[in-house]
Amino acid sequence: MASSIVLFGPPGAGKGTQAGNIVNLTGKPQISTGDMLRAALTAGTSLGMEAKVYMDAGQLVPDDVIIGLIKERLTQQDAVDGVLFDGFPRTIPQAEALSEIAELSIVIAIEVPDNRIVERICGRYTCGGCDAVFHDTFNPTATEGVCDLCGSTQMKRRADDNEATVLTRLAAYHAQTAPLADWYRQRDLFISVNGDQDIEKVGAEISAVL
C-alpha cells in the first residue's frame, strides 16, 4: 500500500498554498472530501446518491460514506503512489477508519496562533471585477478601494469573515483537532510546522520535513 500524507491546520493557516507545494514536490494528488462529494454527485455513483440524501436534508454526511468515497478514490490510477489528504481526517473515529484503508507516512499540521488567524481572515477583501484577493495589512491596494489589477472599485468582504464567526470556527477546529494531534503523535506520524511566518519559509519547513 502506497504511503499518503495528511495536511491540516486552522482556517486561514495557508493550507491551500502549501498543499499545492506538496503536490509539486511529491507528485501525490490532493484530495478533499468536498471535492470527492461533488465528483460523486456529478457522476451519480451509489455513494454519491447516498450522500445526497443527507446533504439535501441539511445533515452531515456519515463517516462510513466519506470513507467509502475515499476508498474508491484510492483505486484510481493517479493515487497509486499515495495521495495528499487535505483537511481529512478531522476526528479520531475518522482517523481510525482511514487507517484501515490507507497507509500514512506523515501528518503535517500548519500551526498559527488564533489572534493571527483572526487578523488574517478579518482583513481579507476581494475585487468584484476579477476576484483578486487583498488584505488590509499584508496586501492592500495601492489606491484605497481600487483594484490594482483591473481597476474595479467593486471591493467586497465575505459576510462570515468577522471576528465572532472566525472564533467560533477556531473553537470547533481546536475541539476536533487537539485529540487528533495526540492520536497521531502516539503513532509517531505527527509533525507541526510554524505557519506564522512568510509563505516561503513555511514551504521550506514542509519541504525539509518531506
Report domain extents, the chain. Answer: 3-112+169-209
What is the rounded average pLDDT of the residues 18-47? 90
Question: Per-residue pLDDT averaged across 143-148, rounded?
Answer: 95
What percent of the chain is modeled with pLDDT above 90?
A: 70
Nearest one of 113, 115, 141 to 129, comparing CA atoms: 141
Phi-psi region of 195 (alpha: psi -120 to 50; beta: other; left: phi over 0): alpha
Q: Which of 193, 195, 181 is nearest to 120 (CA)?
A: 195
Q: Between 159 and 30, where is the model more confident?
A: 30
Q: Select which of 52, 71, 90, 116 is catalytic.
A: 90
Least confident segment among 8-12, 110-114, 201-205? 8-12
Q: Class for domain 3-112+169-209, per CATH?
A: alpha beta
Arithmetic mean of pLDDT, 91-103: 94
pLDDT above 80: residue 58: no
Give catalytic status of residue 124 as yes or no: yes
| Strand extents, DSSP E, the chain | 3-8, 30-31, 84-86, 103-111, 124-127, 133-135, 155-156, 190-194
Q: Tell me the average pLDDT of the chain.
A: 92
Q: Does the active-site annotation cover 38?
A: no
CA nearest to 159, candidates 116, 133, 124: 124
Q: Active-site residue among 38, 156, 158, 185?
A: 158
- pLDDT surpasses 70 at 1: no
- pLDDT per position as a tens digit, 147-202: 999 999 999 998 888 999 999 989 988 988 889 999 999 999 999 999 999 999 99
Q: What confidence category does residue 146 fall into, taking pLDDT thresholds of 50, 70 and 90? A: very high
Q: Can you give the pLDDT at residue 55?
A: 82
Q: Given 15, 28, 73, 120, which residue is catalytic?
A: 15
Cα 116–133–174 angle (5° rounding)?
30
User: What radius of gyration do the chain's Cα atoms show?
Assistant: 19
Sign for the CA dihedral angle at 111, 117, 120, 124 comes to: positive
Using CA atoms, how far apart are residues 79 and 166, in angstroms rounded to an integer? 34
Residue 21, pLDDT above cutoff 70: yes
DSSP lists the bridge partners of residue 197 as: none
Give yes or no: 73 in active site: no
Q: What confidence score (pLDDT) does residue 2 get?
A: 67
Residue 144 and residue 136 in contact, taking contact as beta carbons nearer than 8 Å: no
Of 52, 71, 116, 169, the catalytic one is 169
